[in-house]
Amino acid sequence: MTTRINNNTLAIKPRRRRAVTLAGVAALLVGFGLVANALAGTLLGTKHDFTGLNQRAGVVAMPGLAFSDFGTSCVYCHLPPERPELDSADNGGNPGWNRFIPAQGAYDLYDSRTLDNKVRAPSPISLLCLSCHDGTMGVDMTVFKPDGWESSKDAAMHLRLNGGDDLMSCGKCHNGRVAHSIAIKHIGTDLTNDHPFSMTYAGLTDKDQDFRTPDGHYGFDNGIKLYDGKVECATCHNVHDPDITLLLRDRADRLCETCHIK
């Protein structure tokens, strides 16, 4: 893994953050049983730190009003750690994640004449991202709510990450006037213009001259990850790291040449 995720960062990062949240996260990390790898769980200060948005933005518009405030930012993606026996797949969810799967065939996937490994269907780990970024489901539409959640605490609205100007969409405020436009984060379901993902990495063997061979089964030593030999959203993005631009695992100018030789 990258040197970013180590104990030094643990000492440095928390200073900017709220003690109360840190305590909560520490407890959660114990719940994940991954204390040694604690920094992998740091998400605070990123745009995915949903429970902290109001405080950071200095408004009361988001958690609790535009979407339900579950009290911890992890459960918007992860299964509640206090109940490890839960399986979201039994409830129509994305296996291993606390999100639902979009309708089958919802996506137009990338294709081209020169593409060697066609994308058949997005993998679960990328469907996780799309469940918010395609703009079709509320950001608080999780399969399980955390323990102790009562529906009386439900938010008035369950807005979607969508640039639309309606009461279903964050774009109601996030239109570039009331608040920054959210449209660029809204990837939608037409993925034909985005970098392909969920395809087998063409450089797995050294036969393809256009692609570098990975440093290991995990991917590349600069932190670019492969998942079962495939490229996924999380290959290029690390959602847990608050200190990197657009959550990119390497600088944009170096990212592409990690894999592409020309």
Report the site for ligand HEC in 197-216 (rule: CB under 6 A): 197, 199, 201-202
Shortest Cβ 251–ligand HEC spacing (Å): 10
Which residues ranging from 239 to 258 are in contact with ligand HEC (CB under 6 A)?
239-240, 246-248, 252, 255-256, 258
Pick between residue 87 and residue 156 the one whose CB is nearest to ligand HEC.
156
By CB under 6 A, tell whether 234 contacts ligand HEC: yes
Residues between 95 and 124 that touch ligand HEC (CB under 6 A):
99, 112, 114-117
Separation of alpha carbons 220 and 201, rounded Å: 12
d(CA 95, CA 173): 33
Please tell me what DSSP assigns to residue 168: T
Q: Is residue 30 a contact residue for ligand HEC (CB under 6 A)?
A: no
Helix (H, G, I), strand (E, B) or coil at 43: coil
DSSP state of 101: P
155 binds ligand HEC (CB under 6 A): no
- Cite the DSSP H helix spans in the chain: 7-12, 19-32, 53-57, 124-133, 233-236, 252-259
Q: Which two tokens stand for residue 118?
A: 């066609």
Q: Are strands 230-231 and 199-200 parallel, antiparallel or unpaired?
A: antiparallel
Can you list the positions of beta strands (E) in the chain? Answer: 199-200, 230-231
**Residue 161 near ligand HEC by CB under 6 A:** yes
Kindly tell me which residue out of 79, 109, 129, 143 binds ligand HEC, with binding defined by CB under 6 A. Answer: 129
Distance CA 254, CA 219 (A): 15
For position 36 contacting ligand HEC by CB under 6 A, the verdict is no
Q: Does 133 bind ligand HEC (CB under 6 A)?
A: yes
- Could you tell me how far CA 262 lies from the centroid of its own chain? 29
The nearest distance, CB 68 to ligand HEC, in angstroms, is 10
Q: Which residues have C-beta within 8 Å of that of residue 100, sequence separation ≥ 6? A: 92, 93, 94, 131, 137, 141, 143
Residue 39, interface with ligand HEC (CB under 6 A)?
Answer: no
- Whose Cβ is closer to ligand HEC: residue 152's or residue 182's? 182
Residue 13 as a binder of ligand HEC (CB under 6 A): the answer is: no
Examine residue 23 and tell whether it contacts ligand HEC (CB under 6 A).
Answer: no
- 144 forms part of the interface with ligand HEC (CB under 6 A): no
Binding to ligand HEC by residue 27, rule CB under 6 A? no
Q: Is 75 exposed, middle or buried (0-12, 13-18, 19+ CB in 10 A)?
A: buried
Which of 51, 61, 68, 93 binds ligand HEC (CB under 6 A)? It is: 61
| Binds ligand HEC (CB under 6 A): choice among 123, 135, 172, 223 | 172
Look up residue 143 and give its two tokens: 């399969």
User: Does the protein bind ligand HEC through residue 127 (CB under 6 A)?
Assistant: no
| Cα–Cα distance for residue pair 208/8, rounded to 1 Å | 39
By CB under 6 A, the count of residues binding ligand HEC is: 78
Q: Is 112 exposed, middle or buried (0-12, 13-18, 19+ CB in 10 A)?
A: exposed
Residue 259 interacts with ligand HEC (CB under 6 A): yes or no: yes
User: Alpha carbon 6 to chain centroid distance?
Assistant: 21
**Which of 86, 173, 175, 204 is close enough to bind ligand HEC by CB under 6 A?**
173
